[in-house]
Structure 1
């Protein structure tokens, strides 16, 4: 059984977004575990690099959401997408548990499914330029929050290690 197809229905406004499918495949489904149908991408692999990997994955996901916002995603849809990438980044940054979580959550794939459903329901809103600034601000806020959480986590781990030794 192949993984669920996340390609857009071919319409004039979605043709511009073809590269999103390529990025989502790269981040969430590029590789297959031999002998299984389980697929994973670069996101969980990047998550193995403390802090830098999580920030890189967040950057790619944020870029995808900004592109989807520019191409007609509604404000409500973008908010749901931001929640997905926030969960992916925050939980994914927890050592060990986050690495396992990254293999299964696949925020980018979830966001593409949300956008596809949005288009299929006829909720496409044109250029989305009005939403774009809000998305940019939302991503910056999430980024600052992510840095703060990672800092707090690092301090906690450091103090825990110091107390053991």
Structure 2
């Protein structure tokens, strides 16, 4: 779908149209010839160690901050922040992160979330439930990692 064909909240709200344009530039500006695969400047910038990752994170964070200032609910802002944190975290892993950045388009996902929020009425309310769910998952992952490290340590010492 081309940029000009879209009909959504940011297109209707001229004050926020630049957010959609910047998101398109970062995630979908270019098309791989002969395919429908699109990518933007974000995965290209991320080929530059650290500086590329940080620039993408800062631009995405600025977009979310702008949307928050323009009345997005705390739940939608929380979901958007999770997208950019996931993008920055996995995107920072050498090689795997560069490949991930071509497929996980955080800004495109955030524009879709914004449209679902304003046009379809989804994602209303507080972001506390989302944060609680993420917190529980992170605690479970931490416990699993501690357990695996404990088991690995016990196995290593049993070899001596």
Q: How many positions carry a matched residue from both structures?
A: 125
2:71 counterpart residue number: 72
Max Rg structure: 2
1:93 counterpart residue number: 92
Where in structure 1 are there 5+ consecutive unaligned residues?
A: 126-130, 132-165
Structure of higher RCO (CA pairs closer than 8 Å, 6+ residues apart): 1
> Does structure 2 conserve the Cα–Cα contact (< 8 Å) formed by 1:84 and 1:107?
yes
Task: Describe how 1:50-129 pairs up with structure 2 within 5 A.
Answer: 50-122=49-121
Give the superposition deviation at 1:71.
1.1
Corresponding residue SS for 1:95: coil
Q: Deviations over 1:123-153 (max 9, x none)?
A: 799xxxxx9xxxxxxxxxxxxxxxxxxxxxx
TM-score (norm 1): 0.68
Distance 1:8 1:66, change over 3 A: farther
CA RMSD, Structure 1 to Structure 2 (Å): 2.7
Give the superposition deviation at 1:17.
0.5
Q: Deviations over 1:27-51 (max 9, x none)?
A: 0001110111100001100110110
- 4+ runs deviating over 6 angstroms: 3-6
Corresponding residue SS for 2:13: helix
